[in-house]
Amino acid sequence: MSLIDWEQRVIKRVDACKDELVKLCSNLVRIPSYDRETRGEAESAHLVGRHLEQYKIPYELFKSHPSIENLVAALEGVKEGRRLLFNGHIDVVPPGSLDDWTVDPFGGEVKEGRVYGRGSVDMKGGVAAMTVALCVLKNLDVPLKGTVIINVVGDEERQGDLGTTWCINNIWEKIRADASIVSEPTGTGTMGRTLCIGEKGPIWVKVTTKGRKAHGSVPLMGENAITRMLRFLAALLDQELPTVPPPLEREVLIQQIAGVMGMESAALESLLAKNGRLNFLHAVLEALTKTTLNVGTISGGVVANVVPDQCEVELDFRILPGQSPQTIPAFLHELARDLGLANAFEVEIISAFEGTSVPNFEADSLATTLLTTSRELAGPTIFFMATFATDGRLLRKAGISSTVVYGPGNGALAHQADEYISIEEMITATKVNALTAMRYLGIDE
Ligand SMILES: [Zn+2]
């Protein structure tokens, strides 16, 4: 049987699995998995395991903490070949104030073609879509020339070390692959579906300016740390931040987005110019092509009539792939020197991660296969970057450089009240997952 015939069978079977897919997602949402007291992360992994058992797919659970178990299942093909990994996290963020919700955050309610609840879109729907894709491939005995692996992990939202990092460090042989897909939600609504080929690196720093205390009635007797900080921040916000060329240039992004919206690049550019800085798209384009800075906190001083001797701010820089995190503190020190503040100035790195991306993604076998498959089945799809961090960065750093982020649902709904995932999108993503695996690994016709 040819690849096309196999694909038709797989698509049909996924359609027939709609109820099973919805039930799995909804049941996963019903297990609160945001704190370590309740064992929700372990229970969720067990639920995925029981689903795999129905299809006689062997799986293993690896305990990284009393309340966290990471699941690995592999479907061996008829021949040895490439290995494709799907990664999804099973933990969620807390529901927040229940007053903001119109549904039970852990009810898993199904209505209006959606599954509602905390974690539905981020990312139990994505986990359900990768699990059911594996089950369909197994159920139909698709003769794959390679191996499909799924790794369901905990501890992503806390950016902890007990999920993907733990798997990389402890069971690398089980999850090692030639390429991987992190099934986080990458739908956008207006811009179609995005396929993220990289993500920026967050660099958090604490900057302190020092001064000398004095009585507030004679301010010139002291050195004011707050006014020093104000001078520093004003100069900082006025500077071009150090950056490197982005993996996706602005023109390329504009061209792709204009294509999805059915307009010329020039028309979109003039729309952007008219709406100026308030435009959502402008903000996203800036974030994807440059280093950004958010001044997150500021504190200093004790009382109005004392000249303050210390002021602190916390800054969140997001750097592009290819830029060294060290460029940020070096830049800050140089600026302080230029302002004559070098002796009253400290920089402490709170945390620093490099940005990462798929090298030469336009020729990458997985990225291009997934892009084509998504365009066929899910509609307009564009290459994009994530401004936020996902476990994809860990897999790229561990050696699976061909790691992309792509999954069902609108990412903007993540961490919100009344979070939901579209059932239609889950079905489509299940098909995209299965067909991408078949096309990437090849089948024995
Ligand atoms: Zn997520």
Assess whether 324 and 371 both reside in one domain.
Answer: no
Question: What is the Cβ-side half-sphere exposure of residue 230, based on CA atoms within 13 angstroms?
Answer: 6
Interval between CA 89 and ligand 1 midpoint (Å): 7
| pLDDT tens string 55-105 | 999 999 999 999 999 999 999 999 999 999 999 999 999 999 999 999 999
User: 169-180: b or e for each residue (b if 16 or more CB lie within 10 Å)?
Assistant: eebeebbebbbb
Asked if 407 contacts 126 with a C-beta cutoff of 8 angstroms, the reply is yes
Centre of ligand 1 to C-alpha 69, Å, is 17
Shared domain for 41 and 149, answered yes or no, is: yes
Q: Are residues 345 and 227 in the same domain?
A: yes
Q: Considering 327, 352, 377, which residue would you say is the last residue of a domain?
A: 352
**254 within a domain of the structure (yes/no):** no
Instruction: Quickly tell me which residue has 């023109």 as its tokens.
Output: 251
CA nearest neighbour of 328 among 220, 207, 442, 227? 207
For residue 278, what pLDDT is reported? 54
Task: Using the 3D structure, point to which of 335, 352, 369 is the last residue of a domain.
Answer: 352
Q: In sequence order, what DSSP letters do the residues of 17-31 get, joined into one string?
A: THHHHHHHHHHHHTS
Q: How far is the CA of 93 from the centre of ligand 1 (A)?
A: 9
The reply to whether 82 falls in a domain is yes
Question: Does residue 18 fall inside a structural domain?
Answer: yes
Q: Note whether 79 and 94 are same-domain residues.
A: yes
Q: Specify whether 233 is located in the same domain as 140.
A: no
Residue 255 lies inside a defined structural domain of this protein: no
Report, as residue numbers or ranges, the catalytic residues.
91, 156
Q: Which of 104, 90, 79 is nearest to 25 (CA)?
A: 90
Residues 440/27, Cβ–Cβ less than 8 Å: no
Torsion of CA 258, 262, 265, 269, to 10 degrees: -70
CA of residue 53 relative to chain centroid, distance = 29
CA of 344 to the centre of ligand 1 (A): 40
Q: Report the CATH number at residue 211.
A: 3.30.70.360
CATH of the domain at 31: 3.40.630.10
Whether residue 307 lies inside any domain: the answer is: yes
Q: In this structure, are 205 and 173 located in the same domain?
A: no
Into how many domains does the chain fold?
Answer: 2
| 362 and 348 assigned to the same domain | no
Distance from the CA of 406 to the center of ligand 1, in angstroms? 11
- 299 and 187 part of one domain: no
Question: How far does residue 390's CA lie from ligand 1's centre (Å)?
Answer: 7
Mind spelling out the 3-state secondary structure of 152-218? Answer: EECCCCCCCCCCHHHHHHHCHHHHCCCEEEECCCCECCCCCEEEEEEECEEEEEEEEEECECCECCC
Does 127 share its domain with 241? no
Cβ-based neighbours of 415, under 8 Å, separated by 6 or more: 93, 122
Per-residue model confidence as pLDDT tens for the chain (445 residues): 889 999 999 999 999 999 999 999 999 999 999 988 889 999 999 999 999 999 999 999 999 999 999 999 999 999 999 999 999 999 999 999 999 999 999 999 999 999 999 999 999 999 999 999 999 999 999 999 999 999 999 999 887 799 999 999 999 999 999 999 999 999 987 788 999 999 999 999 999 999 999 999 999 999 999 999 999 999 999 999 999 999 999 999 999 999 998 999 999 988 888 876 557 888 899 999 999 999 999 999 999 999 999 999 999 999 999 999 999 999 999 999 999 999 999 999 999 999 999 999 999 999 999 999 999 999 999 999 988 889 999 999 999 999 999 999 999 899 999 999 999 999 999 999 999 999 999 999 8
Q: Which residues surround ligand 1, an ion (CB under 5 A)?
A: 122-123, 184
pTM of the model: 0.92
Co-location of 178 and 56 in the same domain = yes
Pairing relationship of beta strands 381-386 and 193-199 according to DSSP bridges: parallel
Torsion angles phi and psi, residue 310, rounded to 5: -155, 140
Q: If you measure from the C-alpha of residue 123 to the centroid of ligand 1, how many angstroms do you get, rounded to a whole number?
A: 5
Do residues 21 and 66 both lie within one domain?
yes
* Residue at which a domain ends, from 312, 328, 352: 352
For residues 120 and 233, state if they share a domain.
no
Centroid of ligand 1 to alpha carbon of 407 (angstroms): 10
Closest to 135 (Cα-Cα) out of 22, 53, 79? 53
Q: What distance in angstroms lies between residue 225's CA and the mean position of ligand 1's atoms?
A: 40
Distance between Cα 183 and ligand 1 center (Å) = 8
Distance CA 113, CA 96 (A): 24
Structure tokens at 154: 């905990």
Domain that holds residue 305: 201-246+290-352
- Considering the domain boundaries, does residue 275 fall inside one? no
Ligand 1 centre distance from Cα of residue 325 (Å): 24
Domain assignment of residue 127, yes or no: yes
Domain assignment of residue 154, yes or no: yes
